[in-house]
Each structure stands twice: as structure tokens, then as C-alpha cells.
Amino acid sequence: MPLPSRPKRNPVIAVVLRRMRTPLLVLLTAYALAVLGFSLIPGQDDQGETWRMSIFHAFYVVSYTGSTIGFGEVPYAFTEAQRLWAIVSIYMTVIAWLYAVGALISTLRDPAFHAALENVRLRHSIARLNEPFHMVCGYGDTGALLVRAITQRGGRAVVVEADVERIQALNMREHVPHVPAMHLDARNPEHLVIAGLRNRWCTSVLAVTDDDRTNLKISLAAKLLHPGSHVICRAESSDTAENMASFGTDHIVNGYDHFAFRLLLAIRSPDLHRVYDWLTGIPNTELPERPRPPDGRWIICGYGPLGEAVSRRLQSHGIEVTVVDATVDKLPDGVRQVTGSGTRAEHLHQAGIAQADALLACTGDDADNLSTVMTARQLRPDLYISARQNALRNKPLFEAAETDLTVEPSYIVSSQVLAILNASLLNSFLEKAEDCDATWHRALAEQIQELADGRIPVTWTLRVSRKRTPVLVDCLEAGKQVSLQDLMRNPANRDASLDCLPLLLLRGDDTLLRPATDTSLQTGDNLLFCGTPRSENSMWRSLRNPDLLDFLRTGNHRPGGWVWRQLREWRSSRNAAQKEG
């Protein structure tokens, strides 16, 4: 037999009652004693007869004496005993009031009261949400990048963060639309429910805290409490990733493994790496142009998760690796080790910096990584140097150090998560693109660079379905042909094309890279585009307006809107009547 559920309690009322319990009891006791005294002490009426106050009269007198209003002695003049008790009552009730008011002011200034009040306000705002939103668990560097990118594209996000300073940092930023920030512990399933996990509009849960165990608990709670949600988790260790995968986590992002893959891709196929880097970057940021990493001997300073992932990836492709670390006991076969620190010149000399082609400083401390970079620059000014940047706030220091490649784990993780959220076909496209030759990669990179105008392009997926594109489906079912070029026409100038590229067409079991613009669309097609944000908005606007879509398809301009449609129908009926007449 299930246990009865506890009724929901308002935390604001709970805080007030807990802090005001004693002051209210003192105030009630003072009033009770004052009323009791006035009702027991005998007085005299205007005839000189003995008279006693009723409870109502006594409460009335105490009410105006306790608040020092002073209406006088009613209904008859007080006796000396009653006046003495009135003095006692005044001091007793006034002191009780001062104590109660002081306690109330203290409660209103209590951080716990403000936190409870803010949580109630945010719970109400989340309950009022009537559009899909992403729950972002953790507002570190990765969470901040995700929230900014989601809101820039008009999406909604709810943040769950246990650090009050990070919550304050979020509230100081202007996000449009507004981002509710819950000061809660994401490891507690009840807190996730409070933040809206079971809300029907919660489409995805992004567990991007700095702790693998916390992300694991968030993923588990999301899968159990809201199985329909899309769960994306950050994981730094392979064991945690395997654990997450065992109970069906939709996507697991390991920033270190992904950087190691991208580094090797930059060495082996630089043009494909440029395409990969641009399509998975944070939209509307500067389009990066990075020097190609050398295919030679590497020195890795620090054998943490990043150093291990890079060493394993490079060694598997026959690249010689030397690790400089004082904490690791045993390295894989074939990896040379120097016990020491990259911040010291003698240890870099022992690692063979004179013969090395590249160096990666990847400890968990930004100061050590910057010190390693500066030491290596003094020893080998021409050396290719990459460094790990653990905190985004240190970006100016790494820019001043002029590293050839800066590793930003938070940026890598956030870009991967956004690629999953915004363009589900992107990973399929990049996998297929690996099978193409270098000429194809170079041509695509040049096209993306030309249309992007120096900024990272956005990627989006278009599904031709009744739910996603009803106007387009109606057009196709009516027997009208719509080509890919029609969708890419500029509504302001039909002869010009939008700044976008079709990257992939998925039709049933067939996958087509870079489909031709004269390809006719069919219901059920899935398309992947990249381009400018303005082009994306223009394309979606065309797909929502049947008159605009018809204009792009045929060139026939018909004014839209209800009034114009009614006018066209009236003219058609009038012309038909004239013909019949």
C-alpha cells in the first residue's frame, strides 16, 4: 500500500513561522495577561456601583493602549487599580511589540528567507512556462557558454546551481529570454523536480557540472523521473562514461577525448579539421584560424585526463610522445617519461625539447601551464606550443602568451552539446565527410569561410514533416514541386540565395552529402544546413507562410494576411458570377 504523499509546504511561510514562533507567543502572552487583568480588576460605573469589564471591553482597551494610541478611559473612568494595571499593560505590550517587530525585520533580512522567497518565485515562473526549455545543471564555464548560446537562438533555459556566487553572476547578466536560476543541489532528485524536471516542457537535461559523480546522479534521476527527456552528460573518465551509457544516457561528452581526436584530425587532415572546428563551434563567435600542428615528436607536460587522452591518440598513430610528470607511476609501453615538471628548464631539456616538434602543457593549474609555455618559449622560440586553459577568466593571459593552440575543455564540451541540440545530423555529416578526399574538404572549407563572414556559422536541421513543416507538406501533397533551391531563395530578392549551404540530405536509408540545389524535396526528408543566423530565420519564416513559399517557388507575388485572402476570395467569386451572367 503506497504511503500518502505529504502536502506541499510553502518554504517562505515555513521560514517565517519558524523564526517568528517565539515572538508571536510572547506577544500573545502579553495580550492575554493584559486582557485577563482588566477583566478581573473591579471598577466603578457612573453610579458608584462595582463594575467589571467584559472580555470584549478588556481587549478593546488593551488594543489601543498596547499600540499607544490612547483613546482615554472608557466606558467609565478607571479606578486607581485599573490605572496601575493599564501602566503595566502598556509597558508589557509595547515591549512585546518591539520584540516581535525586531524579530520580523531580522527575518526579512535573513538570507534563508530571501532564498526561500526567490525559489518560490522561480517555481512559479517555471510552472508558467509554456514552451520547451533545457535544464542546465551546473553554471560553471561550460554552463555559462551553453546558456548564452541557447538564449541567443531564442531558446529557453533553466539553471540549477548549488554555488550562490554563480547564481548571482548569472542574475547580473542580461539574457533574453529570461533565465530562471535555481539555487539548489542538483544531486538531490527532489531539487531537480522543484526545478521543473517533470514539467512536460522540459525537453532536455544538460548535466555539465565539474564533478563526474554529480553528473552521473543527474543523468540517473532524469532517466528515472522523466524518461522522455533528452539527457546529455559531461564525463571526464571512461569509467563514468560507461556507467552513464549502461542506463541509457542519450549523449555522453568527454571533452578530453574529443580534443585528442580533433588534434589528430588537425595533424592528418587540416582542411577537414577546419570544417569540423567551424561547424561545432559556439555560433556567432570569431571564426578561428589555427596553425597546423606538426606531425612529429610531442612533449606532454602533465599526465592527467587530457594528457592521457592525447598521448594515447598520438601514440596509436605512430607519433613519438614524451611525458613530463612527477606524479604518475607507470605509463603505457612506448611512452617515454621524465619525472619532473614542465616549469623547470632542466626537465624540459631531459625530455628532449631541442629535438621536439611540439609541446602540450596540460596540467590542472593555469599558472603552471603558463609557466611551462614561457619556459619552453625561452628554450625554443620556434616550437609549436599548445596549452590547456582551465578557467575562461584567464583567457587574456593565454592570449598574451601567444600559444599556437589553446585547449579550452569548457568550450569543447559546450560546442559538442550545442551541436547535438541544434543539429542532430551534424555528427552523421562529419562522419561521412571523413571518407571524402582532401580536395572536397578544401572546397567545403572555402565555401564556409566565404559565407560565414568571419563568424562561426549556425547549423540547423530541417525535417519535412506534418509536425515541423506543415506548410511545406501541404504544398507537396497538393502535387507542387519544391526544390532545395526554393528554400534557399532570399525573400527580399528571389534571384539571390541566402547565406547558407546544404550539407546533408537523409532520405530513408540513403544519405547524400552536399545535395544539389535542384533536388526535389519529399515528405520525410531530413536536411542539414549551415549559414548565418539571418539566413536561418529567413528560411523558417518562408516555411511558415504559404504565400511567401509560393512566391519563392513560382515568382508569383500574392499579398498575404487574412484581409488579402478574403479580398482574393471575393474577387474570385465576383469573377465567377460575372462569367455565369
Q: How far apart are CA 539 and CA 552, in angstroms?
A: 11
278-290 burial by CB neighbour count: b if 16+ within 10 A, else e?
bbbbbbeeebeee
To which residue does cell 480588576 refer?
Answer: 41
Evaluate if residue 11 carries a pLDDT over 80: no
Residues 551-570 have pLDDT tens digits of 999 888 766 555 556 666 67
Amino acid 568: pLDDT? 62
Q: What is the mean pLDDT of residues 509-530?
A: 94
CB under 8 Å to 512, separation ≥6 — which residues?
504, 505, 506, 519
Question: With bands split at pLDDT 50, 70 and 90, how would you rate the model's confidence at 289?
Answer: confident
Q: What is the mean pLDDT of residues 270-296?
A: 90
For 392, the enclosing helix (H) or strand (E) is none
Q: How far apart are CA 236 and CA 305, in angstroms?
A: 7
Nearest to 104, CA basis, from 182, 17, 41, 28: 17
- CB-based contacts of 574-577 (< 8 A; 24+ apart in sequence): none
Evaluate if residue 310 carries a pLDDT over 80: yes
Amino acid 3: pLDDT? 41
Q: How far apart are CA 30 and CA 554, in angstroms?
A: 86
CB under 8 Å to 358, separation ≥6 — which residues?
293, 294, 296, 297, 298, 299, 383, 384, 385, 386
Amino acid 522: pLDDT? 95
One-letter amino acid at 292 equals R
CB of 407 closer than 8 Å to CB of 259? yes
Residue 52 corresponds to which cell in the numbers above?
A: 467589571
Strands 489-490 and 493-497: antiparallel
Evaluate if residue 5 carries a pLDDT over 50: no
* Omega before residue 180 within 30° of 0, cis: no
Q: How far apart are CA 465 and CA 29, in angstroms?
A: 71
CB of 133 closer than 8 Å to CB of 155? yes
DSSP-assigned beta bridge partners for residue 182: 160
Q: What is the mean pLDDT of residues 340-366?
A: 95
Question: With bands split at pLDDT 50, 70 and 90, how would you rate the model's confidence at 234?
Answer: very high
Q: Tell me how far CA of residue 41 lies from CA of 34, 44, 243, 307, 538, in angstroms.
A: 11, 10, 78, 88, 86
End-to-end CA distance of the chain: 79
CATH class of 257-426: alpha beta
CB of 273 closer than 8 Å to CB of 264? no
CATH of 457-563, one of 3.40.1260.10, 3.40.50.720, 3.20.20.210, 3.30.70.1450: 3.30.70.1450
**Full 3-state SS string of 280-299:** CCCCCCECCCCCCCCCCCEE
Q: Which range is least confidently modeled, 19-23, 46-50, 63-67?
A: 63-67
* Omega before residue 75 within 30° of 0, cis: yes
Q: What is the mean pLDDT of residues 347-372?
A: 96
Amino acid 404: pLDDT? 93
Nearest to 517, CA basis, from 530, 540, 501: 501
Q: What is the mean pLDDT of the chain?
A: 89
Amino acid 562: pLDDT? 59
To which residue does cell 619552453 refer?
Answer: 376
Cβ atoms < 10 Å from Cβ of 497: 16
Instruction: Considering only the C-alpha atoms of the chain, give the largest distance between any 2 of them, rounded to a whole number of Å.
Output: 119
Domain boundaries along the sequence of the chain: 11-108, 131-253, 257-426, 457-563
- Is residue 107 exposed (0-12), middle (13-18) or buried (19+ Cβ within 10 Å)? middle
Residues 74-84 have pLDDT tens digits of 788 889 999 99
What string of DSSP letters covers 247-266? Answer: TT-SEEE-HHHHHHHHHHHH
Fold match between domain 11-108 and domain 457-563: no
Cβ atoms < 10 Å from Cβ of 481: 10
Q: How far apart are CA 336 and CA 347, in angstroms?
A: 13
Amino acid 408: pLDDT? 93
Instruction: Tell which wins on pLDDT, 67 or 523.
Output: 523
Region of 302 (left: φ > 0; alpha: ψ -120 to 50; beta: rest) is left
DSSP-assigned beta bridge partners for residue 406: 387
Q: How far apart are CA 139 and CA 144, in angstroms?
A: 6
- Which of the 8 DSSP states describes residue 504? E
CB of 26 closer than 8 Å to CB of 100? yes
Evaluate if residue 580 carries a pLDDT over 80: no
Evaluate if residue 295 carries a pLDDT over 70: yes
Interhelix angle 11-40/55-66, rounded to 10 degrees, is 120
| Fold classification of 131-253 (topology level) | Rossmann fold (3.40.50)
CATH class of 11-108: mainly alpha
Amino acid 125: pLDDT? 81
Nearest to 283, CA basis, from 137, 448, 514: 448
Residues 404-437 have pLDDT tens digits of 999 999 999 999 999 899 888 998 899 999 999 9
Residues 243-255 have pLDDT tens digits of 999 999 999 999 9
Evaluate if residue 1 carries a pLDDT over 50: no
Residues 97-156 have pLDDT tens digits of 999 999 999 988 888 888 778 778 877 888 888 899 999 999 999 999 999 999 988 899
Nearest 10 degrees: CA dihedral of 462, 464, 469, 473?
150
Q: How many alpha carbons fall within 13 Å on the CB side of residue 150? A: 26
- Is residue 110 exposed (0-12), middle (13-18) or buried (19+ Cβ within 10 Å)? middle
Helix, strand, or coil (residue 428): helix
- Angle among Cα 301, 307, 312 to the nearest 5 degrees reads 125
Instruction: Tell which wins on pLDDT, 290 or 207.
Output: 207
Question: With bands split at pLDDT 50, 70 and 90, how would you rate the model's confidence at 18?
Answer: confident
Q: Tell me how far CA of residue 486 lies from CA of 477, 491, 518, 536, 543, in angstroms.
A: 17, 10, 9, 14, 11
CB of 222 closer than 8 Å to CB of 245? no
